[in-house]
Chain A
């Protein structure tokens, strides 16, 4: 009986994958690989055209999502990179170097940061981080330099990356520190006995041994960042614009619109058949990326099998 129940859950997941891709198919079929490419009207206008064509009966599917994908890559990549760096240090600190009292503060703090709902982070972004960036960091001359093309108000990459980093770092920290704790003490003792100091020992032995946990944590955190819709819809600016790093540092202030928030923002368009299918195509891309991510993590962990049994 339990077996049947378990099979139902598997079937549910398969049904989800099939349904999402079936619904997404018309959008992919009409655009081919150009779906992922740049070009055409801005994505916001494309979505509007697609939505409007729902009433006419003559469906339009033309959709070039590059600006959404590029925004996702920028925001996810930057925040995962920052979070990876800082989480590694915090995890090492918690497990090995922090004094007892500090550890007792940090662990609940990490748990708390992990459990704050994303909409609360979003509200914090909209009411605190964004106004601060808009009023204090972006200079008037910078605003003037892009006036007429795009307006810099504080909603943009910087705010999105900062908040997303705080959101995903706790996931990394908790998984990293679990992995670091599982390193056999004997290995560390061995290194200490050779006269290597504790700092180097821990980084050379423990962190290296815990690499599978580091991969696992990074994969989970990246998946979370990819799928984060609500906070980014509030903070990222939600304008389908591609910030260009070649423009100089000003690009970090520019607004953009990642994939997942696009769905939230256009959710009222679901009634229009072509818009519905386009949104499902975005969902399919997210689903596929999440799957590829776990697959990549699995491959990376396989090559670290040497330390099997640890972490």
Chain B
């Protein structure tokens, strides 16, 4: 678009629209002279904008008040237990750790895989037909409901070949474990990582690559030493967004991790037994403790939802910080 404008940059700047962005003539700002219908439209704009702000504030405030009212420090270190009243049902330490495990497994798969796919798409991408296919594949994965991914997970992880990843009794594979849930959740995060990383790679101007080739670096080395470090903020953003989706997903957890509220390790190996066993995460904990779930402990659900919301807010803030820092470092000049 800009390339077609053949104005030599040396000449004194003609009356161009100075700084980027549409100029706002003093007249255009004034809506007083508009027709009534246009003014009404502007009022709708303001109304909708304020409505969304109000909803967000209401949600956060509500969970802040309710959550702080019910959350107790001991809940973070006490696993859930069965009981008749809400004071007997324990805390959500298992759920919190479970969320951590699932997030680590999911992002450990999604990040390298996503970056690799993004690099291939942006830097190699041959043959063109395959690139198109891969692009639509990523889009399709992004559009697949997570409940369908979960059902697919029940097939693959219940196959005898993958039996070592979950509980199996006399040849029948249970198919539910942290491994299964984490692997499927990585698919949820994958499109976000790919999209964000690709955006970062494409923002790097061509002359940077050419400079690297000119000093004799191979394509692979250029990617590893120049392009990936340069697009680190976008990779981090993608990882954060993916992490948010992994932590927030419930359908896959309910299907592939089982509806238990505690760890249920398999076998004797210290760490592996937990990963092979079933467990719970915060989302599942909220789901089961909501009045519509199997257990009805709304106070616990509030507390866990509050913790969940805080984690999400922190992730959001992290994305913001990354963005701001990346902007401070500066963008590429073409």
What residues of chain A have their CB less than 8 Å away from a CB belonging to chain B? 2-3, 5-7, 9-10, 12-13, 16, 19-20, 23, 86, 89-90, 92-94, 97-98, 102, 105-106, 108-113, 115-120, 122-124, 126-128, 166, 169, 173, 184-186, 188-189, 192, 197-200, 203, 220, 223, 226-230, 233-234, 238, 260, 263-264, 267-268, 270, 279-280, 283, 286-287, 290-291, 293-294, 309
Contacts and interface: CB of A to CB of B under 8 A. Distances in A.
Interface string B1-15: 100000000000000
Nearest to B255: A267
Interface string B135-159: 0011111111111110110111000
20 contacts: A3-B130, A19-B155, A23-B155, A90-B45, A90-B49, A97-B42, A109-B56, A112-B316, A116-B309, A127-B298, A189-B23, A199-B38, A229-B251, A230-B254, A230-B283, A260-B147, A264-B251, A287-B145, A290-B144, A291-B140
B22 A93 contact: no
Contact of A115 (B1, B34, B248): B248
Contacts of A287: 144-145, 148
A119 B286 contact: yes
Nearest to A110: B52
Interface stretch (B163-171, B228-236, B266-274, B300-308): B300-308
A164 to B, nearest CB: 13
A111 B244 CA distance: 12
A286 B56 contact: no
B28 interface: yes
Given A230-B254, A233-B292, A283 B248 contact: no
A20 B48 contact: no
B254 A122 contact: no
A112 B313 contact: yes
B180 to A, nearest CB: 13
A169 B249 CA distance: 18
Q: How large is the interface on B (under 10, 10 to 19, 20 to 34, 35 or more residues)?
A: 35 or more
A19 B45 CA distance: 46
A290 B250 contact: no
A172 B45 CA distance: 15
A280 B151 contact: yes
B327 to A, nearest CB: 14
A281 to B, nearest CB: 11
A2 B120 contact: yes
Contacts of A293: 143
Contacts of B292: 122, 126, 233-234, 238
B316 A294 contact: no
B217 to A, nearest CB: 17
Interface string B290-323: 1111000010011001001100110110011000
B102 interface: no
Given A279-B151, A294-B140, A120 B22 contact: no
Q: Looking at B44, B152, B155, B286, which has the most chain A CB atoms within 10 Å of its CB?
A: B152
A227 B145 contact: yes
B137 A13 contact: yes
Interface in B107-135: 113, 116-117, 119-121, 124, 130, 133-134
Given A90-B45, A197-B34, A124 B248 contact: no
B63 interface: yes
A200 B40 CA distance: 12
A20 B133 contact: no
A264 B48 CA distance: 33
A236 to B, nearest CB: 10
Contacts of A291: 140, 143
B57 to A, nearest CB: 8
Contact of B145 (A10, A166, A290): A290
A263 B151 contact: yes
A140 to B, nearest CB: 22
A291 B141 CA distance: 10
